[in-house]
Amino acid sequence: MTRALYAEWTKLRTVSSTGWLLAATVVVTVAVSTAVAAGVDLSACTSGTACSVDTTRLALYGARVGQITVAVLAVLAVTGEYSTGLVRVTLAATPRRYRALGAKVAAVAAAATAAGVAAVAVSVITAARIFAARGLTASGGYRLALTDAATVRATIGTVGYLGLIALLSMGIAAVVRDGAAAIGVVMTLLFAFPMATLLISDPTWLRRLNQWSPMDAGLNIQATINLAHLPLQPLTGLGVLAVWAAGAVTVGGLAFRYRDA
Amino acid sequence: MITIRQMRRLLRAEWTKLWTVRRWSLALIATALLSLGFGLASTSATDETNQREGLLVGPHGLIVQDSFRFVHQSLDGDGTIIARVTSQDASQPDATAGIMIKNNTRPGASYASLTVTPGHGMRLGANFDADIPAGSGGTPVWLRLDRNGTVVTASRSEDGMTWQRVGSVRLVAPATTVQVGLAVTSPPHLNIKKTLGGTGYDATPTVGHATFDNVRVTGNTTGSWTGDTVGYDPSVKSDNPSVAGSSTEASGVFTVTGSGAIGPDEAADDPTQDALFGLFFGVLALIPVAVLFMTSEYKRPLILATFGASPRRRRVLAAKAAVIGAASFATGLVAALATYLIARPLFEAHGYRPPAFAYTSLAQPGVLRAVIGSALLVAALGVLSFAVAALVRHGVAAISIVIALFVLPVFVAVPLPLIASRWLMALTPTGSLAIQRVKAPTDTLAEPWSMLPGWLGLVVICGYAAVALALAVWRVERRDA
């Protein structure tokens, strides 16, 4: 397993797109989070210090954009082997197919998580400074501080969210095998649900769509206030995304195991 | 020189490549079906405005707002009113002060008016839906309305001697006796609040203040000047709040204050826009086709045969762009037409009908523009996807770039303040969704593209497509295939 892992890590590391995509993940996540923290209208905050707006969630808003580069990285890691025929070499070197795919999943998830840690940490620290400069202080019940348990859960959970998006994308890519088609499917799966919420006004259906959607359900992990009104509790929500990811990886693994490469 | 026959051959070759790949034709069908399906999902909404009590219905059967201060006399038969507006406070850019002929003083009754505004010049208004520019504003200015049966002709003058005709409008079914006089109003100030997940607003009344002199009515008048605050009922809580007005007269100088607005009171919701929005989902299936149409050539590498058969690469790209553009346009047009025609009766059955919502039909320019504009936006998106693919030559990258440009701004705009989200819409292809709106742009809807004028977004997405295509041509001609 170590050798398979080392091989996957080398393949991932030596493709120039990997570095670019990981860097892009950090840059766009931080950029969007910073823009949102600096720009959001805080007039709904009840006093100068307390805020009914979920500032933690805003500080992590960039993950919605950063997940795209993570998904691209994950899809390319799988489909790139098919477009070049490298997959035959991989399977000659590691004939145990579950082991080959498992090593790849582990390597890509590790890379995505590492980028996620950097992206989320910088986002939260930058946003905290911005909110503090805008007059929101911890004494007023303002939550965005790494000493606050809910904020820590939201922050670590967002890293986990990005890792799960990588798993989901790899599973889909292993089934579809064509890069363009795979990214199309991943994007549709991620964005169709929140797009549908723009169209639908029925509150029951809005809740349901949130609960079923890999993206919206998973992002409940970012909530730190008004938890009673969430469509899903934070960890349950991330669990829904985990089920999606596990399902995709399982189906992808079976396809990889039983299909000719 | 390229001959027509050569180009036709090229186009046919590219067309054959597109439609003979079964997955691609299936994806185009999926584009239309997804658009239709999601478009029809929006018809599950219901609107209960029509069930509200005390709806104010105007002469054309739609709900209107009608509150102002009216200083009036009865006019029996034909006649003329002349007045000079000597001053007007700039309470709101669209506050109005001027003269009016109205069937009666009941709110919602047919009227014709010639007014000045602080910010939008002189306006000739009628029946809550006509609002015709009538030259520059500013006071003092002389105004005149001549009634001749149902026709009211408006004129303006700088000195009360030489009159310039600005237009004419018609009263709807006036009795012989109508009310003529001075009208002053000032619409409420809207404070739009944008928060996560929505846009709300609160409205505070403003008061307009104007003075008049040289007020003359010729014709068969009865009674003396009477001041009434039309459409003011403090017991009703309104989305369009107003306060009571006042009017005084001293030696021929009239001082009038009024509050409220005269005009349509339709909701910002636009069912045609909601139905056509289904295309936003449909294009998720179209973007990969447009991208693969280019990148699969490199994969095969069919591109060597293609460029071998017609070495002028610029022409090949033009032919491919034309084919994918035409196929996208046709797909978008079929989807938009079908969605509109099926969704319209469903929306009407769910409360989207007069008086709260006007009936729509394809014969109306705004509706036709929304349907054809939707097809054009799909065509522009197809060409943009294709051009990005030719530029980066990598399918996954191209699809991600196009989705990031077209889909992501919607979600990024949600937490941004109004001005930033308007700019985001104006600078990204997402703004093209504004073309799907039949009603005027509004700041009060959650959908940020509704703030843009319809044509602007379409111009922007066509600009993106044109620039990407030009870069692609430049790149492909300089690079090995």
Query: What is the model's pLDDT at position A131?
Result: 85
Q: B212 pLDDT band (50/70/90 cuts)?
A: very high
Query: Is residue B173 pLDDT above 70, yes or no?
Result: yes
Counting the structural domains of chain A, the total is 1
Query: Is residue A49 pLDDT above 70, yes or no?
Result: no
Query: Is residue B299 pLDDT above 80, yes or no?
Result: no
Measure the CA–CA gap between B47 and A245, rounded to whole angstroms: 39
Q: A124 pLDDT band (50/70/90 cuts)?
A: very high
**Which chain A residues contact residue B274 at CB under 8 A?**
199
Instruction: Indicate the residue of A53, A196, A201 with minimum beta-carbon distance to B45.
Output: A201
pLDDT per residue as tens digits for the range B374-413: 999 999 999 999 999 999 988 888 999 999 899 889 888 8
- Residue B225, chain A, CB below 8 Å: the answer is no
Domain interval for residue A169: 2-36+48-258
**Which chain B residues contact residue A71 at CB under 8 A?**
400
CB contact under 8 A, B193 and A41: yes
Q: What is the mean pLDDT of residues B353-382?
A: 93
CB of B70 closer than 8 Å to CB of B106: no
In a domain, A140, yes or no: yes
CB of B356 closer than 8 Å to CB of B47: yes
List the one residue out of B251, B327, B234 whose CA is nearest residue B20: B327
Among chain B residues, CA nearest to A200: B42
CB of A112 closer than 8 Å to CB of A73: yes
Residues 6+ apart with CB under 8 A from B357: B47, B49, B266, B267, B269, B271, B347, B351
In angstroms, what separates the C-alpha of A98 from chain B's closest C-alpha?
25
* Longest alpha-carbon distance in chain A: 65
CB of B388 closer than 8 Å to CB of B468: yes
Chains A–B, number of C-beta pairs less than 8 Å apart: 113
Q: What is the DSSP letter of A61?
A: T
Is the pLDDT higher at B200 or at B62?
B62
CB of B220 closer than 8 Å to CB of B235: no
Residues 6+ apart with CB under 8 A from B448: B410, B413, B414, B421, B422, B424, B425
Is the pLDDT higher at B278 or at B416?
B278
Query: DSSP states of B207-237 as a string?
Result: -EEEEEEEEEEEEEEEEEEEEEEET--TTS-
**Which chain B residues contact residue A68 at CB under 8 A?**
400, 403-404, 408
Q: What is the mean pLDDT of residues A66-88?
A: 89
Q: B437 pLDDT band (50/70/90 cuts)?
A: very high
Q: A160 pLDDT band (50/70/90 cuts)?
A: very high
Measure the CA–CA gap between A180 and A187, rounded to whole angstroms: 11
Q: Which residue carries 């991989």 as its tokens? A: A90
In a domain, A169, yes or no: yes
The residue length of chain B stands at 481
What mean pLDDT is reported for chain B? Answer: 89
Query: What is the model's pLDDT at position A47?
Result: 60
> Tokens in use for B103?
């069937």
Query: What is the model's pLDDT at position B6?
Result: 81
Instruction: Indicate the residue of B44, B285, B416 with minimum beta-carbon distance to A36.
Output: B416
Q: What is the mean pLDDT of residues A64-90?
A: 89
Q: B428 pLDDT band (50/70/90 cuts)?
A: very high
Query: What is the model's pLDDT at position A178?
Result: 87
Query: Is residue A164 pLDDT above 80, yes or no?
Result: yes
In a domain, A41, yes or no: no
Query: Is residue A53 pLDDT above 70, yes or no?
Result: yes
CB of B302 closer than 8 Å to CB of A223: no
Query: What is the model's pLDDT at position B297?
Result: 83
In a domain, A156, yes or no: yes
CB contact under 8 A, A36 and B415: yes
CB of B40 closer than 8 Å to CB of B342: yes
Query: What is the model's pLDDT at position B1?
Result: 57
CB contact under 8 A, B420 and A54: no
User: Which residues in A228-242 are b (16+ Cβ under 10 Å) and which e?
Assistant: eebbbebeebbbbbb
Measure the CA–CA gap between B361 and B370, rounded to whole angstroms: 11
- Residue B447, chain A, CB below 8 Å: the answer is yes
Measure the CA–CA gap between B282 and A196, rounded to whole angstroms: 12
- Residue A77, chain B, CB below 8 Å: the answer is no
Measure the CA–CA gap between A196 and B38, rounded to whole angstroms: 8
Instruction: Indicate the residue of A39, A54, A72 with minimum beta-carbon distance to B416.
Output: A39
Query: What is the model's pLDDT at position B45?
Result: 81
Query: Is residue B214 pLDDT above 90, yes or no?
Result: yes
pLDDT per residue as tens digits for the range B91-100: 999 999 999 9
Query: What is the model's pLDDT at position A144?
Result: 67
Query: Is residue B116 pLDDT above 90, yes or no?
Result: yes
A11-25, A182-196, B107-121 — which one is most confidently predicted on average?
Answer: B107-121
Query: Is residue A136 pLDDT above 80, yes or no?
Result: no
In a domain, A160, yes or no: yes
Cα B15 to the center of its chain, rounded Å: 36
Q: What is the mean pLDDT of residues A172-184?
A: 90
> Tokens in use for A252?
């992808």
> Tokens in use for B320?
């491919």
Query: What is the model's pLDDT at position B154?
Result: 96
pLDDT per residue as tens digits for the range B17-74: 888 888 899 999 999 999 999 889 888 888 888 888 878 899 998 999 999 999 999 9
- Residue A31, chain B, CB below 8 Å: the answer is no
CB contact under 8 A, A44 and B193: yes
Measure the CA–CA gap between A23 and A28, rounded to whole angstroms: 9
CB of A104 closer than 8 Å to CB of A171: no
Query: DSSP states of A131-152 as a string?
Result: HHHTT--GGGT---STTSHHHH
Query: Is residue B418 pLDDT above 90, yes or no?
Result: no
Query: Is residue A260 pLDDT above 70, yes or no?
Result: yes
In a domain, A207, yes or no: yes
CB contact under 8 A, B403 and A58: no
Query: Is residue B151 pLDDT above 90, yes or no?
Result: yes
CB of B352 closer than 8 Å to CB of B305: no
**Which chain B residues contact residue A202 at CB under 8 A?**
44-45
Query: DSSP states of A171-194 as a string?
Result: HHHHHH--HHHHHHHHHHHHHHHH
Tell me what percent of the residues of chain A surpass a pLDDT of 90. 48
Is the pLDDT higher at B127 or at A199?
B127
pLDDT per residue as tens digits for the range B241-274: 888 889 999 999 999 999 999 998 888 889 999 9
In angstroms, what separates the C-alpha of A68 from chain B's closest C-alpha?
7
Q: Which residue carries 């239309």 as its tokens? A: B32
